[in-house]
Copies of this chain bind each other. A is one copy, B any other.
Amino acid sequence: MPNPIRVTVWSEFRHEKHNPRVQAVYPDGMHTVIAAALRQQGFETRTATLDEPEHGLTTDVLAQTDVLTWWGHLAHREVDDAIVERVHQRVLNGMGLIVLHSAHLSKIFMRLMGTGCNLKWREANDRERLWVVAPGHPITEGLGEYIELEREEMYGELFDIPQPDHLVFVSWFSGGEVFRSGCCYQRGQGKIFYFRPGHETYPTYHNPEVQRVIANAARWAAPVQTAPRAFGNRKPLETLPAETAS
């Protein structure tokens, strides 16, 4: 992989404009923190946000994006269906997608999963411990046995998703719940990673281990050059017996 992987960090970028508690943690938006961390790891990064034209996700931008990260919460419904369709097609054609925290209810994730994608939640400063259950998976590179986050929002099962192709993290919460918090999927030629942490009032995306997971996931999800998916009417590759060829 001689050229740097190109990551577009997408974020709703609304909480940070209106909520002082969030501003205190992410004064320039959480996307800038994520993008800076990835840049430091050698990725070529840009950002895009909801209120830009076409949400910053023009055909050109997507064509130059190897991996897209997505954070949204309040305004999932404001994302234009045509842009969702565009991102969906890009994923099926090979672009990686990293879905962060409350983006479990984003249109693009729900479209790709085909399920309700809902879950249980609680904002009560739970402690979260993300246990690695698939050591040896590329997304776990450089991690220890678990990642501990002193305070986070709780997400609990049932998480209404298809069973992941690979389950990488399972979270423990102090209030008594568990959660499948790192989930890998392939859809079409694209790889998708759902990663749970990242409530806007906590400094989660400043955490070096969380940053490492996102960087690992971006490397894992980068497109692989293969023949394009091809469909439709086809002539036989073998001679059909005379009596059966119509």
Q: Are B188 and A115 in contact (CB under 8 A)?
A: yes
Let me know if A124 and B162 touch, CB within 8 A: no
Identical chains bound together, number: 4
Taking CB as reference atom, which chain B residue is nearest A133?
B157
The yes or no answer to A49 lying at the interface (CB within 8 A) is: no
A window 210-232: CB within 8 A of B = 223-227, 229-232
Number of interface residues of A (CB under 8 A): 83
* A187 lies within 8 A of chain B by Cβ: yes
| Residue contact B236 to A176, C-beta cutoff 8 Å | yes
Whether A136 pairs with B237 at a CB distance below 8 angstroms is no
Residues of B contacting A165 in the complex (Cβ-Cβ under 8 angstroms): 163, 165-166
A185 at interface, CB cutoff 8 A: yes
> Are B240 and A175 in contact, CB atoms less than 8 angstroms apart?
yes
Asked if A135 contacts B237 (CB within 8 A), the reply is: no
> Across the interface, which residues of B come within 8 angstroms of A204, CB to CB?
none
A132 CB contacts on chain B under 8 angstroms: 157-158, 226-227
Q: Which 6 A-B pairs have the closest CB atoms?
A: A175-B236, A176-B237, A136-B189, A118-B231, A176-B238, A114-B114
Per-residue CB proximity of A133-146 to B under 8 Å, as 1/0?
11111101111110
**Which parts of A114-170 form the interface with B (CB within 8 Å)?**
114-116, 118-127, 129, 131-138, 140-145, 150-151, 154, 156-160, 162-163, 165-167, 170
CA distance A158 to B121 in the complex (A): 25
The listed residue (B92, B143, B238) touching A175 by CB distance below 8 A is B238
- Give the residues in chain B near A122, CB-CB below 8 Å: 233-236
> Known: A126-B240, A234-B122. Contact between A224 and B138, CB under 8 A?
yes
Docked Cα-Cα span, A51 to B27, in Å, equals 57
A225 CB contacts on chain B under 8 angstroms: 141-142
